[in-house]
Each structure stands twice: as C-alpha cells, then as structure tokens.
Amino acid sequence: MASTTATPLGTHPGDYIDDVMNQVKAKNPAEPEFHQAVQEVLDSLRLVLKRHPEYQSGRILERIVEPERLIMFRVPWFDDHGAMRINRGYRIEMNSAIGPYKGGLRFHPSVNLGILKFLAFEQVFKNSLTTLMMGGGKGGSDFDPKGKSDNEVMRFCQSFMTELSRHIGPDTDVPAGDIGVGGREIGFLFGQYKRLRNEFTGVLTGKGLNWGGSLIRPEATGYGCVYFAAEMLKTRKDSLDGKLCLVSGSGNVSQYTVEKLLDLGAKPISLSDSSGAIFDPDGIDREKLAWVKELKNARRGRIREYADRFKKATFKPADGALDHNPLWTIKADCAFPSATQNEINAKDASNLVSNGVKVVAEGANMPSSADATKTFLDAAILYGPAKAANAGGVATSGLEMAQNSMRLSWTREEVDKRLHGIMASIHKTCFETAETYGTPGNLVNGANIGGFLKVANAMLDQGLV
C-alpha cells in the first residue's frame, strides 16, 4: 500500500503529483471513478506546478482531493404495500473556497460513495469555470425511482430531506437535480425542507416556475452543451448547420440537446436509455421530440417504443457482452454523449473517430473513459470535456440563486442570453488556457487548469482551512 505521509517540500513537481495520486488511491480504495477523475485533473496540473511552486508548498493538491465534509445517512421509507424500505443517502461537500457547495442529487441504484466523489470533484472545477460564486458538492442515493409510484417517490424524498435539511441552506449548500432527480423530486424535497425549517428560501435549484424556479433551467444543460459545440466549431470556421448528430440518453440533458440542435439546423439521429438505443435516419424532428418528452417525462416509458411508433427507426438493445456500444458505430459528424459515466470506451472512441466524427461535446459527466479521451485528443477532433461542455446547467442554477436573492425573475430571453454568454466565456477560457500552457486545442487541459486556478488561488488566500 502506498505511503500516506506528506511528500517532502521541494520534491520535483512530477513526483509530487504521482505521490498525491498514490495517496488518493490508498486512502480511497475501491473508488475507480474517483481515481479516474482525479488522475485526469492531476495530469493537466503537471503543466501548472512547474510554473507555480506555491500550489505545491501550500499543499493545494492534497487539500483539493479531500472532501471538506462527507455526510452519509439512512433513508427509511414505507412503500405502497406498507413494507419498510431502507436506502442510503449521501452529500459530499467537496470545496467551498469560492462559494457555497453547489451540485446535483442523483437517485440511481448504481450510486455509491466513489461515484458521488468523482462527481463532486468535477463539480468544483466546472463551477469555477462558470465565473459564478459556487463551490462544489454532489449527493444522492441508491434509491431507484423507476417503477415507483408518485407517492413512494414523495415518501422517499421527504425522508431523504428530513436528514439532509440539517446540512444544507441557501448560503451553505444548494442541491439540484441529476440522474433520477427532476422537477417532481425537487418539488417534494423543497416542500419537506420548507415544512421542517419554516423558511421559503432558494435552498434547491431546478424549482418550479411558480415557486422560485428560473426559466431555462430545465433546458440549460442541453442548450449549453450545444452552444459549447457551436463555439468549438467556430474556431474551425464551421457550424452545426446540416450536421448529423448522435445523442445518447433520453432524459433531461438529451431532450434539450436535441431541441437546440434542431434550432441550429443540425439533424439529431439517435437517443438511448439503459435498455438500448434508437437510430432514426430521417432525423428526430420537433414532433418526434415532443413524443419522446411525453414518453419519458409523463409515461416514464422505454425508448424502445420509439421504433414501434416511427417505422423507419431501428432499435438496438443494450448488450453488455459486446466490447463496444453499437450506438457509437453509426456514422455522424458530432456526438453528444448525455447518459452516464464511461459510456464511451476506447473501442467506441476509435469507432467514432474512424467514422469521421468532428465534434464530441459531453453532456453527461465523464462519459468518456480515460483511453477514449486520449483517442479524441490524439485525433485532434473538437473535444469538449464535460466540466466545460455541460456547465450550462449549474451556471443557470447559479442564475436561479441570483434571482432568488433579489426576489426577482428574469425573462426567458434574459436567462438564455446569459447562458449563451457564459458558455462562450467558458469556451474562451478553456481555449486560451490550453494555449497559455503549451497545449493548443486541448480543452481537457484548458478546462482542468482554467477551473483549478481560481479555486487554488482562493484557497491560498484563505489560509490552511
């Protein structure tokens, strides 16, 4: 097992980074997604530490990989048959150097400590890139909303919030949605917080429009990701007009990615869920998208039904025995992975590249494995990593917080204009930072370094906390 003693000051920056990574693995065993997220950021920081020894002497890396606080709790609830059910709840308060903890809640059976730590870690850098004052956090539960009645989901959310409410607040920690947590869940969570605390405050984002929510927040992650892709294309004097686009997932992010792609003249041709993927050579137009929204948001059905409804479309079931995902073998100009982590492996990435993909913009968090990321960077395609490309969601959450503080609501046009401006500014930061640190075009380095610098400098200013 690697040593967990402090690396002596004066160690070569490269060895210091390796030591920190070994300590992360030793202290956080069996958390491969957390290791993957940390490794990617630390690799980018090799370029920074050579120029800025103060981050090493201030032990910023050891501090930034260590959550400020981990909260784990029991969530007991009754199902519709009167049986007792027990789930596990979590909130990771990762870093508050530049603002209150901010990040989503994920309800999915795969949720565990390592997955939430990877998400919370990424959130720190993403939130910094938005230019708004938000620290990083993430939470959730291994509760599976699939197949549960609205009443079961409500009882679960009330129990979850009964414990979580002790730890959050509008100036402390502001959760939002993520996989399995949408408008319905935020409503139940907000109602219970208000009842327990007797306070109507902006303690959650993604709220309903009549009770403190912001226009464009539901759309923001998907819209923002498409704006980011358009910014990347602009650097090669190109646009989304007429581009064939693969989109994975069929939830919040995927639906609004398809919507904005249609606005900008592109042709989205796929969607998926955990049961498989549909491919529609005619394109998913507005009418078909409205049908998908009804299928997924109201009926909570499976994407397979799309191929029954629209006869030209084909459905390919998910097959864990394959070494690749058939979705990523479809020829297209752009790919918008918008389902979940590690949904693109090395084989998928090389399939995309050999089919001539020009743009990959990540709507999901860490959808590409480390090898897949390397394949995209080596191929020098336009690759927008998640912490930059999907930051529009949390950025608009930041705008919701600002509106709540002022007790005002901006118009749809105002919020969309700000979102667009923020995505362009994130792209600029990533693009210019990649150049400054000697790796032009590498937006992975640009995002990791651009997000890191502001947080690291705030941590230095605030002393050893």
Stated length of the chain: 465
Active-site annotation holder among 102, 138, 148, 207? 138
Minimum distance from CB of 190 to ligand 2IT (Å)?
14
DSSP 376-401: HHHHT-EEE-HHHHTTHHHHHHHHHH
Spell out, one character per residue from 263 to 282, where the chain touches ligand NDP: x when CB under 6 A holds, - when not. ----------xxx-------
102 binds, among ligand 2IT, ligand NDP, none (CB under 5 to 8 A by kind): ligand 2IT
Q: Which residues, in sequence order, are bridge partners of residue 335?
A: 246, 360
Decide: is 177 part of the binding site for ligand NDP (CB under 6 A).
Answer: yes
Residue nearest to ligand NDP as judged by C-beta position? 251
In the region spanning residues 365 to 384, those forming contacts with ligand 2IT, defined by CB under 6 A, are 365
Q: Is 138 a catalytic residue?
A: yes
Minimum distance from CB of 398 to ligand 2IT (Å)?
8
325 binds, among ligand 2IT, ligand NDP, none (CB under 5 to 8 A by kind): none
Question: What is the phi-psi region of residue 389: left when phi exceeds 0, alpha when psi lies from -120 to 50, beta otherwise?
Answer: alpha
Name which of 7 and 252 has its Cβ closer to ligand NDP.
Answer: 252
Minimum distance from CB of 297 to ligand NDP (Å)?
9
Minimum distance from CB of 33 to ligand NDP (Å)?
11
Nearest Cα to 46, choosing from 444, 460, 410, 463?
A: 444
- Whether the CA torsion 257, 228, 392, 402 is positive or negative: it is negative
The β-bridge relationship of strands 84-95 and 69-78 is: antiparallel
Q: Is the separation of the CB atoms in 458 and 452 below 8 Å?
A: no
Using CB under 6 A, count the residues that bind ligand NDP.
23
Minimum distance from CB of 37 to ligand 2IT (Å)?
12
Q: What is the dihedral of CA 170, 171, 172, 175, to 10 degrees?
A: 30
Which listed residue (180, 187, 202, 385) binds ligand NDP by CB under 6 A? 180
Decide: is 103 part of the binding site for ligand 2IT (CB under 6 A).
Answer: yes
In the region spanning residues 375 to 434, those forming contacts with ligand NDP, defined by CB under 6 A, are 390, 393
* Token pair of 340 as six digits: 């979940």
Decide: is 108 part of the binding site for ligand 2IT (CB under 6 A).
Answer: no
The Cα 317–Cα 314 span in angstroms is 10
* Token pair of 330 as six digits: 């479809």
Name which of 174 and 339 has its Cβ closer to ligand NDP.
Answer: 339
Name which of 340 and 373 has its Cβ closer to ligand NDP.
Answer: 340
Q: In Å, what is the CA distance from 86 to each residue of 73, 74, 77, 117, 142?
A: 10, 7, 6, 22, 10
205 binds, among ligand NDP, ligand 2IT, none (CB under 5 to 8 A by kind): ligand 2IT
25-33, 102-110, 265-273, 303-311 -> range binding ligand 2IT (CB under 6 A): 102-110
The Cα 313–Cα 291 span in angstroms is 14
Dmax over CA atoms of the chain, in Å, equals 66
Nearest Cα to 401, choosing from 68, 100, 189?
A: 100
Spell out, one character per residue from 336 to 355, where the chain touches ligand NDP: x when CB under 6 A holds, - when not. --xxx---------------
Q: Is the separation of the CB atoms in 43 and 14 below 8 Å?
A: no
Query: Which residues in this chain contact ligand 2IT in the complex, by CB under 6 A?
Result: 102-104, 123, 126, 176, 178, 205, 365, 393-394, 397
Residues with a catalytic annotation lie at 138
Instruction: Report the interface residues with ligand NDP, using CB under 6 A.
Output: 110, 177-180, 182, 221, 249-253, 273-275, 338-340, 363-365, 390, 393
